Amino acid sequence: MKLLALETANEQCSVSIVDETQTLYFQLDTRAKAQTQTILPMIEQGFQQNQINSEDLTAIAFSRGPGSFSGVRINAAVTQALAWAHDLPVIPVSTLQALAQAAYQQAHLTEVTAVLDARMNEVYMASFKLDQNNIMQLVDEEKLLDYQQAAQYQKYDLIGSGSTLVDGNAVTFQNITANANDIATIARQHALKQQWFNAEQALPVYLRDNAWKKIPEQGKS
């Protein structure tokens, strides 16, 4: 099994290639809004270093949002194009879940409320708890909330860029960010169970835009 994981939803770009047990390749570009210039060269570099190509992949995992509108669109578009061209399944991963996974990896937190700045005096928010496979799992619902609503929705320690917007004192974990390795860690568990979608279902989730289907609604007629 080999998974390609892509993360551009947080205004930066990272690419990871993993197998069942280890990371084979990881590259991160922290420059803001450089995703369109860097994501394809980074993917190609990963293929070259591991002497593989798209046909050797089992699936493509991507951060499906919520997050930066442009970043989420880029991630979904690149994933869909590669998956269509090479007849590969896709594994959409919540950006908030990836952020929670990063909190476990970086700070050993097992219960978190992930918060991302959504601009317009709002945040994207959801809470997660570690399961028996060391994967952070959703315990409520992903929501777009104003700051006052978010303060009432908080369950655990706040993490992510929206932390201090909800609670001015929540500075400890505000700089935790997710990358493609966190996407890959979550997606690996789905891939081992062949829990994936067809390429046309590599859709972004904005929360603010009701025109896009949520992941649980995809695949239904």
Same domain as 68, residue 29:
yes
Residues 168-210 have pLDDT tens digits of 999 999 999 999 999 999 999 999 999 999 999 999 999 986 4
Q: Is 81 part of any domain?
A: yes
Q: In which band, very low, low, confident or very high, does the pLDDT at 217 lie, cut at 50, 70 and 90?
A: very low
Q: Is 207 part of any domain?
A: no
Same domain as 122, residue 57:
no
Same domain as 133, residue 155:
yes
The answer, yes or no, to whether residue 116 has pLDDT greater than 50, is yes
Residues 8, 3: Cα–Cα separation, whole Å: 17
Same domain as 189, residue 157:
no
Residues 11-51 have pLDDT tens digits of 789 999 999 999 999 999 988 777 888 999 999 999 999 99
Same domain as 134, residue 35:
no
Q: What percent of the chain has pLDDT over 70?
A: 94
Domain that holds residue 156: 96-166
CA-based nearest residue to 145, from 171, 169, 125: 125
CATH value at residue 50: 3.30.420.40
Residues 158, 151: Cα–Cα separation, whole Å: 10
Same domain as 81, residue 9:
yes
Q: Is 61 part of any domain?
A: yes
pLDDT of residue 163: 98
Residues 90, 76: Cα–Cα separation, whole Å: 10
Reduced to 3 states (helix: H, G, I; strand: E, B; else coil), residue 28 is strand
60-70 burial by CB neighbour count: b if 16+ within 10 A, else e? bbbbbbbbbbe
Q: Is the pTM of this model over 0.85?
A: yes
Cα–Cα distances in angstroms (integers) from residue 180 to residues 6, 15, 50, 95, 143, in the given order = 5, 5, 17, 10, 23
* Averaged pLDDT score across all residues of the chain: 93
Q: Is 208 part of any domain?
A: no
DSSP classification of residue 210: T
Same domain as 79, residue 7:
yes
Residues 1-15 have pLDDT tens digits of 999 999 998 878 999
Q: Could you tell me which residues are beta bridge partners of residue 74?
A: none
Residues 132, 15: Cα–Cα separation, whole Å: 26
Q: Is 13 part of any domain?
A: yes
CA-based nearest residue to 88, from 118, 43, 33, 36: 43
10 Å CB burial of residue 52 (0-12, 13-18, 19+) is middle
Q: Pairing state of beta strands 23-29 and 13-18?
A: antiparallel
Q: Is 213 part of any domain?
A: no
CA-based nearest residue to 202, from 47, 38, 80, 66: 80
Same domain as 139, residue 102:
yes
The answer, yes or no, to whether residue 218 has pLDDT greater than 50, is no
Same domain as 129, residue 68:
no
DSSP classification of residue 169: T
Residues 144-167 have pLDDT tens digits of 999 999 999 999 999 999 999 999
Same domain as 186, residue 83:
yes
Within 8 A by CB and 6+ apart from 190, the residues are 61, 91, 196
Same domain as 128, residue 51:
no
Give me the mean pLDDT over the 59-70 stretch: 95
Residues 86-113 have pLDDT tens digits of 999 999 999 999 999 999 999 999 999 9
